[in-house]
Amino acid sequence: MINEAVKRNVWQRFVREGVLDAARLQKRIEESWYMCQKKGVNPYDGKGRAILTPEQLQNRLEKNVRLTSIAAPIMDKVVASIHQANTMVLLIDKEGYILAARGPDPTLKRASEINFVEGSKWTEEVVGTNAVGTTLRTGEAITVVGTEHYSVASQHFSCSAAPIHASDGSLLGVLDMTSALADSRHEHMLAAVCAAAYAIEQQWAAMEKMDEQSLILSASFYRQHSAPMATATASGSVIWMNDVMKEQCPVTIPFSLSALSKSTWKQEVMRDILDESSAYRVGRLIQFSPVKRAPSVSGLINTFRYSGVVGTSESFQQVLWQAERVAKTNAAVHIYGETGTGKEILARAIHENSHRQNGPFIAVNCGAISASLMESELFGYEGGAFTGANRNGYQGKIRDADGGTLFLDEIGDIPEQMQISLLRVLQEQEVMPVGASKPIPVNIRIITATHRHLMELVNARKMREDLFYRIYVFPIQLPPLRERLGDMDRFIADYKKRTSWNGILPDSILQAFQHHPFPGNFRELFNVLDRIRILYGDHVPADLSAADCLLSFTQEKEKQWTGRQEMERNELIQALKDAKGHAPTAAKQLGIPRSTFYRKLKQYEMN
């Protein structure tokens, strides 16, 4: 741990000369100092200057009545459990205003000398680097000790803060513990404040579940109402629709109310639904009236540009109906469906029909990038950030998509540490390249896709719940090919047009297609057609049997690998090709032991 005298020298040199010895500071402190300098924060002041009037504070308390009612008893327990008379606990709202402060009078009095009091705004922009403000900006728990504070007013304190999130990942506020001693890190404070913040989150989540039950119960009377109606939570998540609304808006629940275009739906709040004990608004009952009815297939083709085959399938028309509406918004879209159903084609169509259509569309297959390379590939890096890095740096896929759309396929394959970084991009619209000291603002829309059920990944703790709620704002499910077999003639005609193929398939093949399950969906269909075109050209034998086309794709169908497994398998195949089939040479070329090479051959069924 770097002692206080050394940090004070680092601080003095920075504020006087603008030179920073970054090796002496936490990364987040370094970022914050640069930001404070850029914003013109006075390092020799730092007292609270933005303080609410009593009336304004009361209004803010009423707005946050549920948060304060949940937090108050937990804060009291924390204060009672702390045996140091110099520590206080504070609750701050998401905009940085102190809602409540608990602690011994001497400490509260000392804090009041710098206006660290209820009603004061305690953000980095107002008072410089501090645990509350830095947590608000980064969404991460942090401890700030002594001279790590940018402004002198707070340098006699040690502070630990942790964010408080709702179930959907949105920020509710911050819990802070502050000690009037600045000569030690007080490591117990960070653990204590994180545990207390978690307890608040758990109680908030439990009350949200009760709210949802109350909302659905209150709305059930309107189930057969003649007008389209829905209930939305206080955070704007639609959790119930009556039968008429379901017919006119075939969207999977839950979804964000903001995803319904106001140019399509007129919304009228029928009544607020309140928590009787606190008068907190838990949600709203909303009546909708469509500005325009769902278009016919021909009308949809004219208004929504889609490069694939629309066809006549009702389930796919609903997909395009949803895509047309969400394309007009900035809502995050998650596309899910079986492998080979055309998720990237739909994602590109949403981009091309949005106001971002002139911006870039950047597609990334998260399953095909190794974990070690994913951070630099997505977030970029500064020149010389690590051994082997390009000396000019690399801006990464996220910055490549600035002003447009970033499509993350197989989002479930992103490692947890990358999930945290991606969450920050979604929350703050800024990216921190590897080795950088300052975040870079970006303006992107995120579309994700997977063939897996994301909620199962959340339950298995392979995906963060807060990230799930950020990317699952507007889910769209793509139907498999077996549910669109009525349009098989159109799919084949489209394939012929794209490949300039004039072959005519015999009726036996077309009939076989109608009964084949196509587990590989369009990818499997096009593989079959590729094989026929390559083998027979434009002269397909009239007696060609279905077994000649389909058996090798069904009975001998290759095992489905993940993106990373497929990449590794292809590396083995290429190495064997380069070594002309000689396994020891191929193993040497890959730099792995011969025993490992043979084990991988067996793993990927390449014996």
Q: What is the pLDDT of residue 129?
A: 95
Q: Are 34 and 62 in contact (CB under 8 A)?
A: no
Collapse the DSSP code of 136 into the 3-class scheme (helix H, G, I; strand E, B; otherwise coil) and give the result: helix
Q: Are 139 and 423 in contact (CB under 8 A)?
A: yes
* Ordered DSSP codes for 365-419: EGGGS-HHHHHHHHH-B-TTSSTT--TT-B-HHHHHTTTSEEEEETGGGS-HHHH
| Ramachandran angles phi, psi of 409, nearest 5° | -80, 150
**pLDDT tens-digit readout, 567-607:** 677 778 778 877 777 888 888 888 788 878 888 887 777 75
Find out whether the peptide bond into 584 is cis, omega within 30 degrees of 0. no
Give the Cα separation of 92 and 113 in Å (integer): 19
Collapse the DSSP code of 581 into the 3-class scheme (helix H, G, I; strand E, B; otherwise coil) and give the result: coil
Domain with CATH 1.10.10 in the chain: 563-603
Altogether, the residues listed in the chain come to a count of 607
Give the Cα separation of 47 and 115 in Å (integer): 6
Q: How many contiguous H segments (helices) and E segments (strands) does the chain have?
A: 24, 17
Domain with CATH 3.30.450.40 in the chain: 4-207
Q: What is the pLDDT of residue 353?
A: 92
* Ordered DSSP codes for 187-203: HHHHHHHHHHHHHHHHH
Domain with CATH 1.10.8 in the chain: 481-554
Q: What is the pLDDT of residue 108?
A: 93
Give the Cα separation of 413 and 367 in Å (integer): 5
What class has domain 563-603? mainly alpha
Q: What is the pLDDT of residue 298?
A: 40
CATH fold label, 481-554? Helicase, Ruva Protein; domain 3 (1.10.8)
Q: Does pTM surpass 0.75?
A: no
CA dihedral 271, 273, 276, 282 (to 10 degrees): -150
* Ordered DSSP codes for 89-129: EEEEETTSBEEEEES-HHHHHHHHTTT-STTBB--HHHH-S
Q: Name the burial class of residue 100, with classes exposed (0-12), middle (13-18) and buried (19+) by CB atoms within 10 angstroms of its CB.
A: middle
Give the Cα separation of 337 and 481 in Å (integer): 11
CA-wise closest residue to 404 among 447, 448, 345, 365: 447
Give the Cα separation of 477 and 452 in Å (integer): 11
Collapse the DSSP code of 48 into the 3-class scheme (helix H, G, I; strand E, B; otherwise coil) and give the result: coil
DSSP state of 252: P
Give the Cα separation of 447 and 406 in Å (integer): 6
Residue 249 CB neighbour total at 10 angstroms: 22
Give the Cα separation of 337 and 432 in Å (integer): 32
Q: What is the pLDDT of residue 83?
A: 65
Q: Which of these CATH numbers, 3.30.450.40, 3.30.70.260, 3.40.50.880, 1.25.40.10, describes 4-207?
A: 3.30.450.40
CATH fold label, 314-477? Rossmann fold (3.40.50)
| Mean pLDDT by groups of 10 residues along the chain of 607 residues | 79 88 84 90 92 94 92 93 82 96 92 95 95 92 93 93 87 94 68 94 90 80 78 84 80 73 69 73 81 46 71 83 88 91 93 92 89 84 69 86 94 85 87 83 93 84 87 90 90 91 89 88 90 88 78 47 65 78 82 80 74
Q: What is the pLDDT of residue 243?
A: 82
Q: What is the pLDDT of residue 373?
A: 82
